[in-house]
Structure 1
Amino acid sequence: MADAQLSTAAVRAHRVCGLVPDVLEVGIQDTPAGTSARQALRLRGGSGDAGLALVHGARGAMHLHRAADLPALAAALRPSEETDLRKQSFGPFFAGLSGSVGAAIDEVATAMAAVMADGVRRSKGELSTSLRATVDARLRPWCDRCAVDHVNDALFRLASLPAGLRLIPNGDGSADFVATGALGPVGDVSAGRRELVRRFLRYAGPTNRDGLAGWLGLSPAAARRWWALADVVPVSVDGRRLFLHPDDLAAARSAPPADGVWLLPPNDPILELGDRELLVPDATDRKRVWRPTANPGALLLDGAVAGTWRRRADTVTVTPFGSLSATHRRRLAAATDGEVVVAES
């Protein structure tokens, strides 16, 4: 049977349907702490902190999640073995680790929970220093930059969620850790992973196994195991073979045309979960949106990423990839709460 056909325009329209608060099902990346996730929520009409928690989630990066989802998330994200983790995301530390990476995470998480049980709010440095007295030396390699041995940074981040720790932004891009008690029963690992992959497909589809691996920082072997838990159907998008959950195919076919102007914050789920080649076909433009550090925001015109933007004080500077129509300029001015300057790319 031939693959179902979807146009790029249909895919973009389907992706814009993700501009809803339910995107918290997969979490919203928050980098620096206290910045991008709040912007993404406001864009979707969400507000307030009730029931939400900032934690180290996918790839160990800071994500805003529903607190009720944390036990299942912790179970799903716990690596089965050291080869589950992609070196590009986590570095070479785990490849040379003797013993189970899961056991290492458990050891550091237990030590973290013990330190934080006194209810004191601690910075990352303060917590890291406190762990040196109890964590095994093999998990505390020497750090030339800090001139001290401390828990490997990726291991530190991976252990903080199962330790029951959340992050409280300080208002300057940094965050402190607080203890919120045990997560409770974490549930079945396979069930947690199956649900996480289902949610990923809902907001990232159509996509492929590489998209899942990039989002979670998984090695190819681990991505294959996770992907096998999913129900998917192949679709052809401009000659590329991608995949959707069967229940999402009808929605993608019937999504109304994307119509509007949005200023997506850096790390918005539309940018972080979606297939980058579909969102931004031109390779040079992709490098403008996704940079090694300090990503700009993205200008979304009728579902297509059409430029970047940055804010300084009350001025938003928009750099489109091409020309903007008069209608788009009017809508852009209405979409911001300050002065808009359109720059040349």
Structure 2
Amino acid sequence: MTGILTRRALGRALLARQHLLTRTTMAPAAMVGHLVGLQAQAVPDPPYVGLWSRLEGFRPENLTELIEQRQAVRVGLQRGTIHLVTAEDCLTLRPLVQPVLDRGLRSTFGKRLEGLDLAEIAARARELVEQEPRTFQQLGELLAPGFPGRDPAALAQAVRAELALVQVPPRGLWGRSGPAAHTTAEHWLGRPLDPSPSLERMVLRYLAAFGPATAADVQKWSGLTGLGPVLARLAPQLETFGDEQGRTLYDLPEAPRPEEDTPAPVRLLAPFDNLLLSHADRTRVLPEEYRPRVMTPNGIVLGSLLVDGLVAGSWRLADGVLRVRPFGPLRPADVAGAEAEGRLLLDFAGVGGERVEVEAAG
């Protein structure tokens, strides 16, 4: 073990790898790949704003073009949630997270699917969604006559678990709208799923974007269980550290680990930003006392204000006004930083000339 990393040092390492200390000129597709996707459950803003936070000069059309050209897709992956990933990662990661989707199907719809042949349901559904993209409601209604007495919604969710389904445009495009209509990844991308994807490679990529991390962190991010043996196999090529709670952290030897006093600028994070969702212990960037104020009981993750590397408030954009709500007092320089980031976000969103309001603390 190399040494002990404080919570603040872990936060700075994470911000460096997420390109939240300094925006980068990396190509949007490369950033989507580096982050191993962006959570995209809500539409359409989170992936767009997530890239804006990290990329210099990023504009909405840069991501829209990737989606329309089938270089990036929306698909159920980590934690069973919708992520926007590169086409290559869709084909590689989807087989790896199959156990996550299987577990979710059993826990939610298992009783309603008892006695059914899931492979038969999937085969019928593949024909339907490859004829034309279908919503889950349409898919359930079309499948129901072949499985009398069965819940159409459960049939559709069985398909979601059994097939690699991608949401097709205009779903999730900036400034446009469309139903969550699905076809198979293989049909949409014209290539098969990876027949031999590597868990080890996935874990290494996670560490590159989110490390240093414990086995529990990797499992929280992916939704998979039992990844301790994978890290044990990788350990000879990794650095190991301890944290202040005595846990073992794994990391890539050459990955950035800035000094804990490295300056961290004010940033506005997207709703559902990966920064807040990818560790079992989120306190390196999200103080525990603020977690309920960012992550609501109904599963919404608000847009967040980052000050000195930590979540310090939330923000909302409505009717051309970007309102920043600090959770505690801010220094004048941090208020100015929040206003400056807010103006940049308004310009990005195409509502430049409107206003930013930083509310009173608390």
Answer yes or no: is 1:210 the counterpart of 2:212.
Answer: no
1:266-318 CA-partner distances (Å, limit 9, x unpaired): 1112112244122223x331111222322211111132111222222222222
Is 2:315 the counterpart of 1:309? yes
Q: CA RMSD in A?
A: 3.3
SS of equivalent to 1:65: strand
1:242-321 correspondence runs (5 A): 242-248=248-254, 251-253=256-258, 257-274=262-279, 275-281=281-287, 283-292=288-297, 293-321=299-327
CA contact (8 A) 2:302 2:315 kept: yes
2-structure distance, mates of 1:279, 1:236: 18
User: Does the 8 Å contact 1:233/1:244 carry over to 2?
Assistant: yes
Q: In the alignment, is residue 36 of structure 1 matched against residue 36 of structure 2? A: no
Q: What TM-score, normalized by structure 2, do the two folds share?
A: 0.75
Change (3 A) 1:174 1:10: farther
Counterpart selection for 2:144 from 116, 132, 144: 132
Q: Hey, what does 1:187 align to over in structure 2? A: 195
| Matched-pair contact (CA < 8 Å) for 2:8–2:260 | no
Aligned to 1:91: 107
Residues of 2 paired with 1:319 and 1:289: CA distance? 11
Q: Which has the higher strand share?
A: 1
Name the counterpart of 2:32.
24
CA positional deviation for 1:130: 2.2
Partner of 2:3: 4
Counterpart-to-counterpart distance in 1, 2:306 and 2:10:
14
3-state DSSP of counterpart to 1:112: helix
How far off is 1:259 after superposition? 2.2
Task: Render the CA deviation track for 1:206-233: whole Å, top value 9, x for unaligned.
Answer: 2222222222223x4x444554554354
Change (3 A) 1:332 1:229: same
Aligned to 1:145: none
Contact 2:326 2:358 in 1 (8 A): no
Matches within 5 A, 1:80-159: 85=103, 91-94=107-110, 104=118, 107-118=120-131, 120-133=132-145, 142=151, 148=152, 150-151=154-155, 153=157, 155-159=158-162
Q: Distance in 2 between matches of 1:90 and 1:308?
A: 35
1:143-171 residue CA offsets vs partner (Å, 9 max, x unmatched): xxxxx563263x3433342x5x3333164
CA shift, 1:325, in A, is 0.9
The whole-number CA distance in structure 2 between the counterparts of 1:341 and 1:201 is 35
Identity of aligned residues (%): 22
**Partner amino acid, structure 2, of 1:78:** Q
Matched residue type, 1:74:
R
- Give 3-state SS (helix, strand or coil) of 1:117's partner: helix
May I ask how many residue pairs the two structures share in their alignment? 319
Structure 2 unaligned segments of length 5 or more: list them: 347-354
For the 8 Å contact 2:326–2:361, the answer to whether it is kept is yes
What secondary structure does 2:334 align onto? helix
- Residue 137 of structure 2 aligns with an amino acid whose one-letter code is G
**What TM-score do the two structures reach when normalised by structure 1?**
0.79
Aligned partners of 1:31 and 1:62 also within 8 Å: yes
- Secondary structure of 2:242 counterpart: strand
Is the CA contact 1:306–1:321 (under 8 Å) kept in the aligned structure 2? yes
User: In structure 2, the residue corresponding to 1:53 is in which secondary structure?
Assistant: strand
